[in-house]
Structure 1
Amino acid sequence: MADVVVEEVLAMLSATSGTVGCVVNTVRLAVAVASRLEKARLAADSPRTRAGGPPTVVAVVGRMRPYDIAQIRLRHPGLFTHDGAPEVDVVVATQTIEVGVDMDFAGMVTELAAGSALAQRAGRVNRSGRRDSAPVVVVAPDDAALLQKSVGPYSAGDLEEALVWLGRRQDDVAGLAPGGSIRQGARTHPFPPHPVDPCGTASSGGTSTCGPAPPSPCSPNPSSTSG
């Protein structure tokens, strides 16, 4: 799983500018992904300032103490704001960033999780609506048997229901988020581009970036949601 996640993150870094979020379900996988990314190299033709070199990676993993957050803010003052931190290429995180952390990612690669968690994660993408679109990729096991096992805080039932919901969103013109896709093993299933909402900002994860957010389309039971 770590190699697939890293591959998707590096591909997204070559196609976007700004910080990309990478969210997985366990500390162990987050550490493995962060370590691999720190040793990787950006594409030579990447639009990023560190093209050809290693990306700048920040890990936000597990229970973050106020001291830990303060240290990250000291090194990267804009990271926890809508303005972002241009010097950070990737934030690798666990569920820590789903709530209570103000981040605005240019795109996201996420491990398959419960539908409500995916909505929270996608809600961290293009929050300010400054981009016309922003990609979201969900990485899922290509072996259905692996979905029978719980991963992190999520039960097998959570993951199966989320995958069914994602399959329906894939065929919906609204998609999950701008340019979103589901990655299963070696196969990538793209969502249609997400339309721009009436106030000129893009929606992501079923929530609007302007005005009050409607109920999540995948909470509490994504498999029972239509559309």
Structure 2
Amino acid sequence: MSDHVRDLASVRGATERLLAAAELWDESTVPAPSRLPGWSRGHVLAHLSRNADALRNVLRGLPMYAGGEIRDREIEAGAPRPLAEQLADLRASTERFLAEAALPADWSRTVQLRNGVTDSASELPFRRWAEIELHHVDLGAGYELEDLPEDFTVRETDFLAERFVRHPQVVSTGIRSGDGRLRTTGGGADGPHVVVSGSDAELLGWLSGRRDGSALTVEGGPLPVLPPL
């Protein structure tokens, strides 16, 4: 069960780690490529700021984004800004999200995200935490999957494994982590056809599309191909 108060504290901590790291950059770092195809580090920072505002909208019962094209335009417009402006925006948008989340509310209510996706309001803080942690890695500036908090890695791996459960394009798959825990995902109902084993960081990297899975051990067939998130 989620604990939105704990997750909100984790949002603040993860944001502070990212900001502290980025404050050491020089201006040439912002337009440099990130690990996300076609996006600079400035794109990643702009996206994180606008995502904080978008999730605040969700908490307020508003559409997450005014539209997909507007979302993309806002990220493109924000990407080339100077470093100080980027970081001030990320601080301010995070504080707006956290202030909204501090108001009395029914955290058990169902909320509407993008593309028809719904979730419990109590899961929004974790979704924001995931945005910060994974995109911090995507910046390609010294923060790696191995540096993620252990509790985050476990929960995000659970989340992504669940996302692919019964997916028709994913063969029934067992996912064995370093502690021996076995998760199941994919389309089959009669037990895993393939078992994928590896470190927590490598498993999360594969499930999230951030690593190719070459460091994993696969039994029972080739490494399953996962659709884009």
Identify whether the pair has TM-score above 0.5, normalized to the shorter chain: no
**TM-score (ref. length: structure 2):** 0.29
Work out which of the two has the higher radius of gyration on C-alpha atoms and give 1 or 2.
Answer: 2
More helix, by proportion: 2
**TM-score (ref. length: structure 1):** 0.29
